Amino acid sequence: MSGAAGNGSGGGRVLPQAPAQREEVPAWRLLVTLGSAGAIAGLLLVFVYQATQPAIQAYKAMVLRQAVQEVLKGPERWDTLYVVDGGLTLEPPAGADAAGLEMVFLGYREDGEPIGFAITGAEFGFQDIIELIFGYDPATRTVIGMKVLSNKETPGLGDKIEKDSAFVAEFDGSQVPLAGVKAQRATGAANEVDMITGATISSRAVIGIINHRLERLGPMIEAYLEEAT
Protein backbone atom coordinates (compact mmCIF):
# COMPACT_ATOMS: atom_id res chain seq x y z
CA MET A 1 0.00 0.00 0.00
CA SER A 2 2.71 2.43 0.97
CA GLY A 3 4.69 1.64 -2.19
CA ALA A 4 1.67 2.27 -4.40
CA ALA A 5 1.08 5.57 -2.73
CA GLY A 6 4.69 6.52 -3.33
CA ASN A 7 4.32 5.92 -7.09
CA GLY A 8 1.54 8.53 -7.38
CA SER A 9 2.12 12.20 -8.21
CA GLY A 10 5.37 12.80 -6.35
CA GLY A 11 4.13 11.59 -2.94
CA GLY A 12 2.45 14.96 -2.22
CA ARG A 13 5.71 16.93 -2.33
CA VAL A 14 5.62 20.53 -3.69
CA LEU A 15 8.50 21.31 -5.96
CA PRO A 16 10.22 24.65 -5.21
CA GLN A 17 9.41 27.47 -7.59
CA ALA A 18 12.22 29.34 -9.28
CA PRO A 19 12.39 32.94 -7.95
CA ALA A 20 10.94 35.54 -10.28
CA GLN A 21 13.61 37.64 -11.87
CA ARG A 22 13.27 41.41 -11.34
CA GLU A 23 13.57 43.60 -14.34
CA GLU A 24 16.50 45.94 -13.88
CA VAL A 25 15.68 49.63 -14.20
CA PRO A 26 18.10 51.39 -16.48
CA ALA A 27 20.31 53.95 -14.76
CA TRP A 28 19.26 56.67 -17.21
CA ARG A 29 15.63 56.25 -16.16
CA LEU A 30 16.55 56.76 -12.49
CA LEU A 31 18.50 59.85 -13.41
CA VAL A 32 15.59 61.24 -15.42
CA THR A 33 13.17 60.59 -12.55
CA LEU A 34 15.42 62.23 -9.97
CA GLY A 35 16.13 65.14 -12.26
CA SER A 36 12.45 65.71 -12.96
CA ALA A 37 11.57 65.58 -9.27
CA GLY A 38 14.34 68.06 -8.48
CA ALA A 39 13.24 70.42 -11.23
CA ILE A 40 9.62 70.36 -10.02
CA ALA A 41 10.71 70.99 -6.42
CA GLY A 42 12.89 73.88 -7.58
CA LEU A 43 10.05 75.44 -9.56
CA LEU A 44 7.77 75.16 -6.54
CA LEU A 45 10.34 76.88 -4.34
CA VAL A 46 10.74 79.69 -6.85
CA PHE A 47 6.97 80.08 -7.12
CA VAL A 48 6.51 80.21 -3.34
CA TYR A 49 9.41 82.66 -2.99
CA GLN A 50 8.02 84.99 -5.65
CA ALA A 51 4.51 84.75 -4.27
CA THR A 52 5.54 85.59 -0.70
CA GLN A 53 8.21 88.22 -1.39
CA PRO A 54 5.83 91.20 -1.77
CA ALA A 55 4.19 90.43 1.58
CA ILE A 56 7.57 89.91 3.27
CA GLN A 57 8.98 93.16 1.89
CA ALA A 58 5.84 95.08 2.87
CA TYR A 59 6.10 93.73 6.42
CA LYS A 60 9.79 94.65 6.67
CA ALA A 61 9.01 98.17 5.43
CA MET A 62 6.27 98.54 8.05
CA VAL A 63 8.59 97.34 10.85
CA LEU A 64 11.29 99.78 9.69
CA ARG A 65 8.84 102.70 9.61
CA GLN A 66 7.70 101.95 13.14
CA ALA A 67 11.32 101.61 14.31
CA VAL A 68 12.28 104.99 12.79
CA GLN A 69 9.34 106.56 14.61
CA GLU A 70 10.45 104.94 17.86
CA VAL A 71 14.15 105.81 17.88
CA LEU A 72 13.53 109.39 16.71
CA LYS A 73 10.75 109.86 19.29
CA GLY A 74 7.91 110.50 16.87
CA PRO A 75 9.14 112.74 14.04
CA GLU A 76 6.58 114.58 11.95
CA ARG A 77 8.26 113.25 8.80
CA TRP A 78 11.62 112.07 7.54
CA ASP A 79 13.77 112.02 4.43
CA THR A 80 15.38 108.84 3.15
CA LEU A 81 19.03 109.50 2.34
CA TYR A 82 21.19 107.16 0.30
CA VAL A 83 24.86 106.46 0.90
CA VAL A 84 26.56 106.97 -2.45
CA ASP A 85 30.27 107.50 -3.16
CA GLY A 86 31.13 108.34 0.43
CA GLY A 87 28.33 110.85 0.91
CA LEU A 88 24.59 111.22 1.51
CA THR A 89 22.12 112.12 -1.20
CA LEU A 90 18.35 112.48 -1.44
CA GLU A 91 18.22 110.77 -4.82
CA PRO A 92 19.69 107.36 -5.69
CA PRO A 93 21.94 107.15 -8.76
CA ALA A 94 20.12 106.84 -12.07
CA GLY A 95 19.27 103.21 -12.82
CA ALA A 96 20.25 101.99 -9.36
CA ASP A 97 18.00 99.75 -7.30
CA ALA A 98 17.19 102.04 -4.37
CA ALA A 99 16.15 99.10 -2.18
CA GLY A 100 19.66 97.66 -2.42
CA LEU A 101 21.43 100.86 -1.34
CA GLU A 102 22.54 101.72 2.17
CA MET A 103 20.15 104.23 3.70
CA VAL A 104 19.78 106.56 6.68
CA PHE A 105 16.72 108.56 7.68
CA LEU A 106 16.67 112.23 8.65
CA GLY A 107 13.70 113.08 10.86
CA TYR A 108 12.04 116.49 11.28
CA ARG A 109 9.86 118.14 13.91
CA GLU A 110 6.57 119.86 13.11
CA ASP A 111 8.39 123.18 12.70
CA GLY A 112 10.65 121.67 10.05
CA GLU A 113 13.75 121.56 12.24
CA PRO A 114 15.75 118.31 12.04
CA ILE A 115 15.58 115.94 15.01
CA GLY A 116 18.35 113.59 14.03
CA PHE A 117 19.23 110.57 11.97
CA ALA A 118 17.92 107.02 12.25
CA ILE A 119 20.69 104.58 11.37
CA THR A 120 20.60 100.80 11.03
CA GLY A 121 23.48 98.46 11.73
CA ALA A 122 24.32 94.78 12.20
CA GLU A 123 27.23 92.82 13.66
CA PHE A 124 27.89 89.47 15.29
CA GLY A 125 26.89 89.09 18.92
CA PHE A 126 27.40 86.02 21.08
CA GLN A 127 25.52 83.55 18.84
CA ASP A 128 24.48 85.28 15.65
CA ILE A 129 23.96 88.59 13.90
CA ILE A 130 22.34 91.38 15.92
CA GLU A 131 20.42 93.94 13.87
CA LEU A 132 19.40 97.26 15.37
CA ILE A 133 18.42 100.82 14.61
CA PHE A 134 19.29 103.92 16.62
CA GLY A 135 18.58 107.62 16.53
CA TYR A 136 21.48 110.06 16.56
CA ASP A 137 21.54 113.82 17.15
CA PRO A 138 24.72 115.21 15.55
CA ALA A 139 24.20 118.62 17.18
CA THR A 140 24.67 117.17 20.66
CA ARG A 141 26.51 114.00 19.62
CA THR A 142 24.04 111.91 21.58
CA VAL A 143 21.97 108.80 20.94
CA ILE A 144 18.25 109.59 20.83
CA GLY A 145 17.05 106.00 21.17
CA MET A 146 17.93 102.40 20.31
CA LYS A 147 15.87 99.41 19.22
CA VAL A 148 17.04 95.87 18.47
CA LEU A 149 15.34 94.67 15.29
CA SER A 150 16.42 91.03 15.38
CA ASN A 151 18.69 88.76 17.39
CA LYS A 152 19.25 85.09 18.21
CA GLU A 153 21.07 85.60 21.47
CA THR A 154 20.66 83.23 24.42
CA PRO A 155 17.07 83.34 25.74
CA GLY A 156 16.90 84.86 29.20
CA LEU A 157 20.42 86.32 28.94
CA GLY A 158 21.63 87.74 25.65
CA ASP A 159 18.14 88.50 24.40
CA LYS A 160 17.83 91.05 27.22
CA ILE A 161 19.46 93.52 24.83
CA GLU A 162 15.98 93.68 23.32
CA LYS A 163 13.71 92.76 26.22
CA ASP A 164 15.36 94.57 29.16
CA SER A 165 13.72 98.00 29.10
CA ALA A 166 16.28 99.40 31.57
CA PHE A 167 19.16 98.47 29.26
CA VAL A 168 17.41 99.88 26.20
CA ALA A 169 16.58 103.13 28.04
CA GLU A 170 20.25 103.66 28.92
CA PHE A 171 20.99 104.66 25.35
CA ASP A 172 18.58 107.59 25.40
CA GLY A 173 20.72 110.72 25.66
CA SER A 174 24.04 108.87 25.95
CA GLN A 175 27.08 110.66 24.55
CA VAL A 176 29.06 109.04 21.74
CA PRO A 177 31.35 107.25 21.42
CA LEU A 178 29.67 104.91 23.87
CA ALA A 179 31.57 102.99 26.53
CA GLY A 180 30.22 99.76 27.99
CA VAL A 181 30.83 99.35 31.72
CA LYS A 182 29.87 96.88 34.41
CA ALA A 183 27.34 98.32 36.83
CA GLN A 184 29.71 98.25 39.82
CA ARG A 185 32.34 100.17 37.86
CA ALA A 186 30.09 102.90 36.49
CA THR A 187 31.27 106.46 37.12
CA GLY A 188 28.20 108.26 35.82
CA ALA A 189 29.95 109.58 32.71
CA ALA A 190 27.61 110.70 29.93
CA ASN A 191 28.90 108.08 27.50
CA GLU A 192 28.64 105.07 29.83
CA VAL A 193 26.16 102.25 29.25
CA ASP A 194 25.76 99.61 31.96
CA MET A 195 26.16 96.20 30.37
CA ILE A 196 23.83 93.34 31.23
CA THR A 197 25.22 90.94 33.81
CA GLY A 198 25.73 87.55 32.17
CA ALA A 199 25.38 89.03 28.69
CA THR A 200 28.39 91.29 28.35
CA ILE A 201 29.26 90.01 24.87
CA SER A 202 25.79 90.80 23.56
CA SER A 203 25.83 94.18 25.33
CA ARG A 204 29.22 95.07 23.88
CA ALA A 205 27.99 94.07 20.42
CA VAL A 206 25.12 96.58 20.61
CA ILE A 207 27.48 99.33 21.78
CA GLY A 208 30.00 98.38 19.10
CA ILE A 209 27.43 98.53 16.33
CA ILE A 210 26.49 102.10 17.23
CA ASN A 211 30.10 103.26 17.57
CA HIS A 212 31.22 101.61 14.35
CA ARG A 213 28.30 102.98 12.34
CA LEU A 214 28.99 106.51 13.56
CA GLU A 215 32.70 106.16 12.83
CA ARG A 216 31.76 105.50 9.22
CA LEU A 217 28.66 107.65 8.75
CA GLY A 218 29.44 110.53 11.13
CA PRO A 219 31.60 112.48 8.66
CA MET A 220 29.00 111.97 5.92
CA ILE A 221 26.24 113.26 8.21
CA GLU A 222 28.24 116.36 9.13
CA ALA A 223 29.06 117.07 5.48
CA TYR A 224 25.41 116.69 4.46
CA LEU A 225 24.22 119.12 7.15
CA GLU A 226 26.88 121.65 6.19
CA GLU A 227 25.76 121.56 2.58
CA ALA A 228 22.11 121.90 3.58
CA THR A 229 22.72 125.08 5.63
Q: Round to whole Å and give the CA distance between 194 and 228.
A: 36
Closest of 45, 171, 187, 68 to residue 116, by C-alpha: 68
**What pLDDT is stored for residue 2 in this prediction?**
47
- Report the 10 Å Cβ neighbour count for 95: 5
With a cut of 90, say whether residue 228 has pLDDT above it.
Answer: no
pLDDT tens-place string over residues 92-127: 988 888 888 999 999 999 999 999 999 999 999 999
Beta strands in the chain (DSSP E): 77-84, 87-89, 103-108, 114-124, 129-137, 142-150, 179-181, 192-194
The values of phi and psi at residue 218, to 5°, are: -55, -50
Q: How many residues does the chain have?
A: 229
**What pLDDT is stored for residue 13 in this prediction?**
65
Mean model confidence pLDDT for the chain? 89
Section 77-103 average pLDDT: 93
- The helix/strand/coil state of 137 is strand
**What pLDDT is stored for residue 12 in this prediction?**
60
Name the residue with higher pLDDT: 7 or 133.
Answer: 133
With a cut of 80, say whether residue 24 has pLDDT above it.
Answer: no
pLDDT tens-place string over residues 26-57: 777 778 888 888 888 888 888 777 777 678 77
